[in-house]
Structure 1
Amino acid sequence: MLGDEKSVILSFDDGPAPLAALESILQTLRQEEIKAEFYVLGDEVRQYPEAARMIVDQGHDIQNHSWSHSDLERATEQSVRSELERTQNIIKKTTGVTPTKIRPPYGAGGFRGHLDPELVEVARDLSLDIVTWDIDTEDWKAPQGLGPEKINNIESQFEQQPRKESFNILMHVQTGTARDLPAFISRLRGWGFTIAEP
C-alpha cells in the first residue's frame, strides 16, 4: 500500500483567518485526534489574536509564515528581518509560544539548493529552521479544496517519492479545505499512512 510504514504531518498555511474555516479545521482535527502545524501570518495574528490562541490551546504547533505573505527571496535583508521578527514577536506576545520554524511564502528561498542567503541569516539569528513541504495539495487552486483531481495529483506526488518515509503535507486555512478535510484524512488512512505529530 502507498503509505505502509510511512507517516504524514498535516500543515496549514496563511491562517489564522478566515475564522470559520479555521474553526472547522480545528474541529475536524479534534474529532480525528490529530495534531497539526499552522504557519500563520503576523498581520493576521494581530487582527485575530483569539484565533491564534485557539490553535495553541488545542495543542497544535504555531509557526512563522512571515508578516504579510511577501516574497522573502526577493526582499532585502532588512525587509526579511522585519517580516520574521515582527511575526515572532506578535505570536509570542499573543500565545506565549515562540515559533521554531519559518515556512517562507510560496516556499521562495526555502528549498534546498535554492536557499536565499538573507533568509538563512535572519532565520539563524532568530533560531528558526527554514522548512517547506513534501506534498503540495494545491488546495487553493480552483476548484478550491481537496476534490478528486487534487487527490489524484497528491497520490502521484507520493508515488514519485518512493523512498521517503515521512511527508509534510501543505494545505491552507480556507473554506474548501475545511470542507474536504475529513474525507482527505480518511483517504490518507486508507492509503495506510500514520498521521504523526509535528
Structure 2
Amino acid sequence: MEIILENISKKYGSQWIFRNIDFHFEAKTKYALIGHNGAGKSTLLDIIMGKIPYTKGKISYQVNGNIVGIDSIYKHLSVATTSMSLIEEFTLEEILQFHFRFRNIVKGLNQEDVLDLMELGKEKKKFISNFSSGMKQRLKIGLALFTDSSLLIFDEPGANLDLKSKQWFQTLLAKYLNDRTLLIASNDAEDYQICDHIMDIEDFKLVG
C-alpha cells in the first residue's frame, strides 16, 4: 500500500499534537515512527488507519495502483497495538476462528499453523482472560502478522515481551512480511531494526 500525507495536522482542544506532516509512505517499504512518549506516534497511526479524524490536510491511499477510500481502508490493513482489546471470554481457538471468519489468513497457512507459529498451540483451549500479558501480546502480533493485508501496523510491538519473544517477533516478521508496507511506532530500536526508513514525529511538533 502507498500512503501520501499532505499537510496532516491534529489538535485536541487548542493544543496541536503535530502540524503540516507531508510524507510519502511508499508501497512494499518498511518505516519506523519514532519520537518521545506523547509526541503523537500512536495518534498518527490512528489517523492513517481511519480510526480518528485529522484536523486538516489530506490522506491518499493506493493498493496496486488502485485508489482506496478512507472508509474501506480497514479491508487492507492488519494491526497490533498496546491499546487493542481482546475478547477475553473466548478461548484462543475461538478467537482465531472468529477473526478468520472476517479476514483471510496469509497464503500457505491455516489456523493450526498460526497456533504453532505463535508458539501457543498448547493453550488453544485456554480462555484469553487467563493469558499472561506476554501471551496476549503474542496473540495480537500473530493476528496482525498472519492476516492477509497490504499494510501492516505495529505500535510498540515489544511491549510485554521478554528477550526471547522479541527475537521471535523479529524472526517471524522477516519471514512473513512479504511485500506489505510496514509501519512500526516505537522508541525501542530493537522493535524496528527491520525498517529501512525512519520518520521522526518530532520534526512536525513546531508550528509551520
Same fold (TM over 0.5): no
| Higher Cα radius of gyration | 2
Q: Which has the higher helix share?
A: 1
Question: So what's the TM-score if we normalise by structure 2?
Answer: 0.30
Q: TM-score, normalised by structure 1?
A: 0.31
